[in-house]
Amino acid sequence: MKNLKYILLIAFIFSSLSCSKEDLEVEPVNEFLSENFYQTEDQVFSALVAAYDPIGWTMAFGQWVSEVMFNEIRSDNANAGGDPSDNDQPGWQEFDDFTNTNTNTVIHAMYRRFYIGIFRANLVIFKPEISSPLVDRYQAEAKFLRAYYHFELLKHFGPIPVVTQELTPEDVNLSRNTLTEVFTAIEQDLTEAIAVLPVSISSAETGRATRGAAQALLGKVYLYWGDMLNDDVQKFDAAASQLGQVIQSGIYGLEDEFESLFLFGVKNPSESVFEIQKTNLYPSDWGWFEGIEGNGMVQLCGVRGLCSGHPEYQDGWGFMLPTQALWDFYLPDDLYRRDVAMMSEAELAQEIQDAGVSGCNPVVDITQSNPVDFTGYWQEKFANYKAYEGNNVNGGDPNLTKDDNIYAIRYADVLLMMAEALHRGSGSDQEAKSYIDIVRERAAGPGQNTDFRTADDLMSDLGWSLQDIIWYERRAELAMEGDRWFDLVRSGRANASLFAGDPIRGSNFSDIHLWLPIALEETSVAPSLTEYPDQSLFQ
């Protein structure tokens, strides 16, 4: 996704070689600027590649900016982790402890990342000087991306400025839009994209937006919109309509084994509705200003202090540590999903013993871990496999070139969202339960599962409501994948009681922490831009 950067670099080099007045008066050759770049399909495609690029940044401007990490660490699923100082990556420690302010070191990088994506998407939408079916498709993909970036900004910062036009340097003093205005802009972009995007794509186009990806995202948008507008039944019905089309397309399906989704080298399985592509083909290093092309979470969230003799995993930096609450959350007949999402020291020791490895004492040196955050568990969905060693094809830092993809929307998520939309809208609870049961059957473990507990069984055995089951399934299925915090916020379940057992979080949390503040660097140059969203905007 660096094609456009390389083109612009070449243009700069050519323009810098001139040395005489005569040369300076010659018409530019091999030089592409914004005024003359968008004249061919190839040029528009290069701009589209640049618009996709920020979607995969796990690091930007020297900061870790993964929305997956944010959602898990901010929630009751995970602690920040890091080294024994309890001050490793202070911005992330602040997210964990609800002590962040508008000078937090990470917030500005997050905000800039998404607005850079919007800026680049707008170039594809407005700049092309040619028209063709291919360019139409590129612009539909750009609208999908613009909607995606606006939605991520909304989820992090609350109602934010909507930017659906080209801005000039004078357009700096933007103000927040209302919740409805933000959602309406996202809805329009996705609706227009759905009308153009292809139903299926070739293997060479893997990772690009499809109609199903846009419909799934729009379904999630409607679900959040309905929840945040005090249970708007019409929005839930709209969500069910979009998600139903994804299901009925027949393109997607659950993998037979849950574990297989997270094994080394698995990319774009049939369950993947939209997947963020990572690569080791670029020499990412600590000097990369705008993101890295590998998945930084793999090294960042690997087991800190792990014995080098482990047969499968290598040592990591110990961030995004699962909480005791998450470990205890899973039902006794749902431990398969738990063991895919997280691991304990006992499991690591057993793996070393099974491999016949000696000399691993201790299996994990826990003195290297953050003593405040460490609970004895590590995440496993972004496992730091030894197989990543040496896969930085063109050089670069091996810690930054591990190319594990990131699931943005899985088919299991679609099924659970569909169940929620039907239950909270005007749909059938029986149909909703059928989608839950599809997910629960796979969750029972590999092979043919005929004795798993259905949604009806859980309601009978545990006295749960259907909504209780939906919340359980979303947390159990999607743990460590970046949905937990936003699910809590949109449904009104993010409150101090959620962290009652945590003396730091429980005492620090207040309603202001439902949203991140916009960074001081932004509000300083935009007087109309408020640090936090006013309650009047939530309409």
Q: What is the pTM of this model?
A: 0.93
Provide the pLDDT for residue 346. 94
pLDDT in tens, 332-365: 999 999 999 999 999 999 999 999 999 999 999 9
Helix (H) or strand (E) holding 462: helix 455-462
Cα–Cα distances (Å) from 332 to 76, 443, 468, in that order, read: 20, 12, 17
pLDDT in tens, 147-169: 999 999 999 999 999 999 988 87
Least confident of 21-35, 202-216, 258-272, 401-415: 21-35
Q: Which residue has the tokens 């369950």?
A: 271
Is residue 184 classed as helix, strand or coil in its secondary structure? helix
Provide the pLDDT for residue 31. 53
* Residue 267 to residue 275: CA distance in whole angstroms: 8
Please list, in sequence order, all residues whose beta carbon lies within 8 angstroms of the beta carbon of residue 21, skipping any fewer than 6 positions away: none
15 pLDDT higher than 70 = no
Least confident of 10-24, 55-69, 380-394, 403-417: 10-24
Find the mean pLDDT for residues 82-104: 97
Provide the pLDDT for residue 170. 78
24 pLDDT higher than 70 = no
Q: What percent of the chain has pLDDT over 70?
A: 94
18 pLDDT higher than 80 = no
501 pLDDT higher than 50 = yes
Provide the pLDDT for residue 498. 94
Provide the pLDDT for residue 412. 98
Q: What token pair was written down for 370? A: 């953050």
